[in-house]
Amino acid sequence: MLDRRTFALGSAAALAGAGLASMARAQDAAQPWEQALKKILGDAKPTEGKVTIEMPEIAENGNTVPFSISVDSPMTEASSVRAIHLIATANPQPGVATFRFSLLSGRAAVTSRMRLARTQDVLAVAELSDGRFLMGKRSVKVTIGGCGG
Amino acid sequence: MATKPRIKLPESAKVGELIEIKTLISHVMETGQRKDSEGKTIPRNIINSFTATYGGAEVFKAELQPGISANPYLAFYMKVPGPGEFEFTWIDDAGGKVVEKIKLNVT
């Protein structure tokens, strides 16, 4: 029979255990962009290719860097791109945006402008209707950083 | 956030045609990372959501973070299903909302 004292002890041990576990997690914590990527992918492994990121090779002003991302997909009921996730690996907040598409989209492509804190790699992860992921990467040199510290 | 957004559609489109829709709205997109002259953090205020529907059905949605530049420009595609009206919605952190409706000229 579980009396009050053993119950209290047990909870304390459980709390201590949880504390240790979270400390261990903090110690081997991945880079923020790796965490952002993990949040999108879960345990899935992305395939490289079929994702095109158009961006200037050298961005003079990191406050506004134009980009176009497109994914080679038929965009039919059988096979489509559900979303494109955009990650800037060296930004203070690496997750930049998630763009969601529909069968009305016809084409999985988006154009916008982003901030880049400094020279870095930009990743675009496409989430497909069959649960798979595709990934594209692009390196951008930044002359003047754009997060206005 | 009471600014009038700019929207560019093709002058006319045919059923089944793939068209590009371009949108632009004025917004500071304050990141929440910057400090004012007294060293206090300027609170984040960005457009965090943009949605485009056509005839009530969702075409495209963007969930934005502070990494998107000020005055967010968004361009995307639609395969025209038939005559209809677009509804574009921008929402910011301060609760501001801009809704814009525009008919597509389908020939």
Sequence spans of domains, chain B: 6-104
Query: Is A119 within 8 Å of chain B by CB?
Result: no
Structural domain of residue A6, as residue ranges? Answer: 1-30
Residues A63 and A122 in one domain: yes
Could you give the ipTM of this predicted complex?
0.96
What lies within 8 Å, CB to CB, of A111 at 6+ separation is A66, A67, A68, A69, B22, B73, B74, B75, B76
CATH says B6-104 is which class? mainly beta
Residue B91 C-alpha, separation from nearest chain A C-alpha, in angstroms = 14
Residues A12 and A45 in one domain: no
Pairing of strands A58-61, A133-144: parallel
Can you spell out the DSSP letters for B39-53?
SPBPPPB-EEEEEEE
Does any domain span residue A72? yes
- Tens digit of pLDDT at every position of chain B (107 positions): 767 999 999 999 999 999 999 999 999 999 998 999 999 999 999 999 999 999 999 999 999 999 999 999 999 999 999 999 999 999 999 999 999 999 999 99
Report helix, strand or coil for A71: strand
Query: Is A113 within 8 Å of chain B by CB?
Result: yes
| Model confidence pLDDT, tens digit, residues A23-70 | 445 545 689 999 999 999 999 999 999 999 999 999 999 999 999 999
Q: Chain B contacts of A147, Cβ < 8 Å?
A: 31, 33
Residues A125 and A110 in one domain: yes
Residues A40 and A81 in one domain: yes
Residues A46 and A21 in one domain: no
| Model confidence pLDDT, tens digit, residues A74-105 | 999 999 999 999 999 999 999 999 999 999 99
Does any domain span residue A115? yes
Does any domain span residue A149? no
Question: What are B65's two structure tokens?
Answer: 């973070």
Does any domain span residue A68? yes
